[in-house]
Amino acid sequence: MTRPLSFLTGPMVQLAWVVDDIAAAEDRFGRVHGVPRWTRLDDVDFGPDDCTLRGEPADFRAHISLAYAGDLQLELIQPVRGASIYAEFLTTHGPGLHHGCWETPDLDATLGLATDSTVVQAGSMAAGELRFAYVEPGLPGLPFIELAQIGPGMREFFDAMR
């Protein structure tokens, strides 16, 4: 028998919050928590060819801001259009901590080990440079766990952001 969450073998690389006003959240994190700068990606499209929500094609858009606290990436996500776990979370819970992300070298193999978890949303972006899957249950106070397989181009983008 496997232990729940035993598939989390890679490093935790990110904490992410869903917000209803990304500019205000960036400002608050800066003033209150000392985050010096954000890299904002407005209107990121996740299309039905690249993303699923509960196994069905998903088509949504979000504003995303990224920053670093040491080696930990901070992410702010503001849903803009369409059905997603971000929009659902905002409707159900309001703004707040949404997920922690663990890096994996092989997303498919890791998901094969996550037998006690359900994939809620999955997809890829940047021509497959980032593949991701959100699973539940998460951890106490952390509704979802994101698993991410990060390609060399995306890693270069993240490193440049630091």
Please check the confidence at residue 75 and state whether its pLDDT lies above 90: yes
Q: What is the pLDDT of residue 1?
A: 40
Please report which confidence band the pLDDT of residue 72 belongs to, taking 50, 70 and 90 as the band edges. Answer: very high
- Half-sphere exposure of residue 91, counting CA atoms within 13 Å on the CB side? 10
Mean pLDDT of 156-161: 92
pTM of the predicted model as reported, rounded to 2 decimal places: 0.94
**pLDDT number for residue 161:** 87
Phi, psi of 108 (to 5 degrees): -60, -45
Q: What is residue 3's predicted lDDT score, i.e. its pLDDT?
A: 57
6 pLDDT tier (thresholds 50, 70, 90): confident
Mean pLDDT of 108-128: 92
Least confident segment among 2-6, 39-43, 83-87, 101-105: 2-6
Give whole-number Cα distances, 17 to 2, 78, 127, 142, 152, in Å. Answer: 30, 9, 25, 10, 25
How far apart are the C-alpha atoms of 155 and 71, rounded to whole Å?
13
Q: Is the pLDDT of residue 132 over 80?
A: yes
- Answer left, alpha or beta for residue 16, where phi above 0 means left and psi between -120 and 50 means alpha: beta
pLDDT classification of 111: cutoffs 50, 70, 90: very high
